[in-house]
């Protein structure tokens, strides 16, 4: 039996050995249904980095799609196609580590645009990301480098089994964003990875204290997010105390939050 709906209305299956075994079997069958010429990069990954395509890796995609094997197969193959596109064939099959596939992306990583909050999980066990659009430094790196940094941070979160099972939440803090650094092309590239590619089960995108400038471009942001992510948006405006109370309603208490929120 599945668990009861949580604070976001999501239901999580209880993982039994039988469910895991059947899920992996179903996923392999769904992958085989897809024409070989549409899974070239995945097949190459199986040869070059078997540890990134084994059953543990496949489970991440199954959990993201709540054990819908057909959807997991599509996401898995699209993931490897995009990974090769972003990292190139020379680095796509390397581990997503600072001395591996990310060795040329230290500037984008260090800007702090997105970070995983260390040792922080919501009551359901979700990983929590902090996103600060004002910290982008587009003159210092190529757009694709920032996308690769997003892949690195999200994969760090997915090392947690509970984050695979229960998902992740984003805290977006657009306090100092200006139209000067609002880059629609960059945002589109970011969203392409977050919707339907990376094996992240996004529970919510908490947009905290949106400014007038951010609100003026938010319609563009929502379109680029796609329908599935749009449904996860939760905006919190007003005084700090009100925003903190709203986040606490979702189990994100002050002591869990970064300094930007007074944590």
3-state helix, strand, coil in the chain (%, to 5): 55, 10, 35
d(CA 22, CA 63): 13
Q: Please report which confidence band the pLDDT of residue 253 belongs to, taking 50, 70 and 90 as the band edges.
A: very high
What value, to the nearest 5°, has the Cα angle with vertex 187 and ends 76 and 181? 155
Pairing of strands 127-131, 114-121: antiparallel
180 exposed, middle or buried (CB, 10 Å; 0-12, 13-18, 19+)?
exposed
Residue 217 pLDDT: 77
Q: Is the pLDDT of residue 2 over 60?
A: no
Residues forming beta bridges with residue 206, ordered by sequence position: 171, 234
CA distances from 183 to 2, 68, 108, 179, 191 (A): 41, 35, 15, 8, 12
pLDDT of residue 3: 66
User: pLDDT (tens digit, 9 = 90+) per residue, 219-243?
Assistant: 777 888 888 888 899 999 989 899 9
pLDDT in tens, 140-189: 999 999 999 999 999 999 999 999 999 999 999 988 777 777 788 998 99
User: Could you give the 3-state DSSP secondary structure of residue 150?
Assistant: helix
13 vs 33: CA distance, rounded Å: 25
């Amino acid at each position: 039996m599945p668990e009861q709906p949580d604070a976001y209305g999501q239901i999580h299956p209880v993982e039994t050995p039988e469910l895991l075994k059947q899920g992996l079997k179903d996923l392999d069958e769904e992958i085989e249904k897809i024409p070989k010429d549409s899974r070239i990069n995945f097949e190459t990954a199986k040869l070059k980095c078997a540890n990134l395509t084994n059953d543990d890796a496949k489970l991440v995609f199954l959990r993201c799609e709540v054990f819908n094997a057909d959807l997991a197969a599509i996401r898995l193959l699209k993931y490897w196609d995009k990974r090769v596109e972003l990292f190139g064939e020379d680095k796509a099959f390397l581990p997503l580590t600072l001395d591996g596939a990310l060795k040329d992306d230290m500037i984008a990583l260090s800007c702090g645009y997105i970070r995983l909050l260390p040792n922080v999980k919501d009551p359901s066990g979700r990983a929590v990301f902090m996103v600060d659009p004002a910290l982008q430094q587009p003159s210092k790196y190529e757009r694709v480098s920032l996308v690769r940094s997003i892949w690195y941070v999200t994969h760090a979160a997915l090392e947690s089994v509970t984050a695979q099972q229960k998902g992740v939440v984003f805290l977006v803090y657009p306090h100092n964003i200006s139209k000067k650094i609002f880059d629609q092309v960059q945002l589109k590239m970011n969203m392409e990875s977050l919707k339907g590619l990376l094996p992240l089960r996004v529970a919510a995108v908490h947009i905290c204290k949106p400014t007038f400038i951010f609100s003026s471009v938010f319609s563009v942001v929502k379109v680029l997010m796609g329908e599935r992510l749009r449904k996860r948006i939760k905006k919190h405006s007003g005084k700090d105390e009100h925003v903190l109370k709203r986040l606490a309603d979702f189990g994100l208490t002050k002591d869990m939050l970064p300094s930007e929120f007074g944590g």
